[in-house]
Structure 1
Amino acid sequence: MSKFYTVDRSNNIDQNMVFSLQKNYSDHKIWTVQDIYDEEDAIARIEQLYPEGLSFHGIQYLIKECLVIFKNMTREPLPLAPTTPMIEAVFELVRRNEFPQLPSRLQSMFAWCNLDDAREFNSFLGDKHSIFEVEIENAFIADQKLLYLGGSVIGTYEMARKYWSGDKSNNCKLEAVIPLPAVIGNKV
C-alpha cells in the first residue's frame, strides 16, 4: 500500500472517514437549457455514464459549476466561461476514449504524493487546513501541471493525453488520483 496526503479544504474530514461515490443529485442545482434538456435528462445521462456515482469533485465540476457567467446578476451572459469544468470535460473524454482502465477524476479524490507537497499546498491556502494520510493500493499518479487548456482544442487534447499517459512536465507536481471508496487515515 502507498501513502498519500490530502489537504482538507472543506474542513470536514475526520480520521477513518470513508470517501465514497454519491448517487443523490437532488440536493444540487442542475443547470439546464430551456426546451432542450431538463434535470431529469441530466440525471439520466449522469446515471448512464457513471452508474456507480460521482465523487465530490465530480459533482462540483459536472453538475454544480455553471458554464455561463452573468453580468451584474442579470440574465445577460458574458462571453467567457470558467476553465476548470472544461478542463475536466476534455480530460474525461480523453480518458474514456484512450485510457478507460484508469480511474475517472470525476469518481476520485486527490492527494499529494509526499508530505512536503501537501504542506506547500496548504501554505499556499494560508495554512488553515488539516492534512490527512490516505493509504491505498491503486492510485494513478499524474502530473497536475498538465491540467490546463492548451492553446487550442487539439492542444487541450494533447495535454490530457500526456496527463493520462503519465508524462511529466519540466516542473512536474505529482498528484494521486484515488478511486473511491477510500478511507481517510491519520491526521498529520
Structure 2
Amino acid sequence: MGNTESFQEVFYLVLLYHLDRNHSLNEGKTINLRNIHEVVTDNDCSPFAQFFKDGVSLFGLGMIDNRCPTIPLLSTGDATTSFINVDDFHRIKSPVDDRLIEITFELVRRLYFPQYPSRFQSLFTVKSIEEFNKWPELFSNGLQKPSLCNYHVYEINVSDNTPSFDSKWLNSGISAGIDKNRRFYYRVGISFLYDFAYHYWNRDLTDNPRLEYLVKLPVKIGRKVNL
C-alpha cells in the first residue's frame, strides 16, 4: 500500500490598518462583541436577535438601533403649508439608507456566503494607510480633502486569508432628488440592492474598486502608527 501524505494549509500574519475615528482605542486593547440587548430590548423573543446570539460590533449596534432621527417641520407664515428643508432631509436620509443597505447585505450573506464574517461583527480595515484617502466620508467633512491628522491609525495583525471586498458596491441602490418635471422622488431599488450585495460577497470588483478587509471580532489592537 503506497504512502499517503497529508497537507496542512499554512497561513501567515499580515498587517492591516484601522482608523480610530472615535479616539477610543489604544495599543493592546481587545475589541469584543457587544450584547445586542443594548439596542434590541426584546432580544429574548426576537427572531432577528437570534442571528447575533454571540453579539455584534459597535458598528453593528448602530445599524440595528431602532431609534429614529428627526428633523424640524417648517411652515409658511399662515401655517397652512408644511415643508422640510432639503439639507435636513438628506441629513436623516443617510443613516436610514445605511440601515437598508446593511440589512440587505447581511441577509444575502447568510443566504449565499455564510463562510464570510458578518459586517455586523467585524472590524473594517485596509491594506495600507494611503487607502484611507479613498474614504472621504470617514472624516469630519466629506467635502474637504481627507486628512488623518485628527485621527489615530492602528496596526491589526491578521491571517493572510482575511477576506477583502469591494466597498463600492455599498454606494448604490438608493437615490433621491427632483426629476425633470420638478417632482421630488425617493427611490429604493430593491433588486439593485440585492444584486449589489451578491456582487460584494462574491468578491466581484467594480471598475474602480475600494477594498476593505473584514476582521471578525474579537480583535486585539496592535501598534499605533506614527503619521
Same fold (TM over 0.5): yes
Q: Which residue of structure 1 lines up, in the alignment, with residue 171 of structure 2?
A: 148
TM-score (norm: length of structure 1): 0.81
Q: Which residue of structure 2 lines up, in the alignment, with residue 20 of structure 1?
A: 32
Superposed CA offset, 1:97-119 (max 9, x none): 01011100001110112121136
**Structure 1 SS opposite 2:17:** strand
**Structure 2 SS opposite 1:145:** helix
- Identical aligned residues as a percent: 26
Question: Is this contact kept in 1: 2:36–2:56, CA < 8 A?
Answer: no
Out of 115, 124, 132, the residue aligned to residue 101 of structure 1 is 115
Question: Is this contact kept in 2: 1:148–1:156, CA < 8 A?
Answer: no
Q: Which residue of structure 2 lines up, in the alignment, with residue 70 of structure 1?
A: 70
Superposed CA offset, 1:87-146 (max 9, x none): 101000100001011100001110112121136646625631011010111522001111
- Residue 25 of structure 1 deviates from its aligned partner by 2.9
1:44-123 paired onto structure 2 within 5 Å = 44-63=46-65, 66=67, 68-72=68-72, 81=93, 82-118=96-132, 121=135
Moved over 6 A (4+): none
Question: Is this contact kept in 2: 1:83–1:149, CA < 8 A?
Answer: no
Which one has a larger percent helix, Structure 1 or Structure 2? Answer: 1
Superposed CA offset, 1:45-94 (max 9, x none): 45411111111111010125x4x4434179x9x89842011110100010
The structure with more radius of gyration? 2
Q: Which residue of structure 1 lines up, in the alignment, with residue 158 of structure 2?
A: 136
Question: In the alignment, does 2:206 pair up with 1:169?
Answer: yes
How many pairs were matched up? 174
Unaligned 5+ residue runs, structure 1?
A: 31-38
- CA-atom RMSD, angstroms? 2.7
- The structure-2 alpha-carbon separation of the partners of 1:120 and 1:173, relative to structure 1 and needing over 3 Å to count, comes to closer
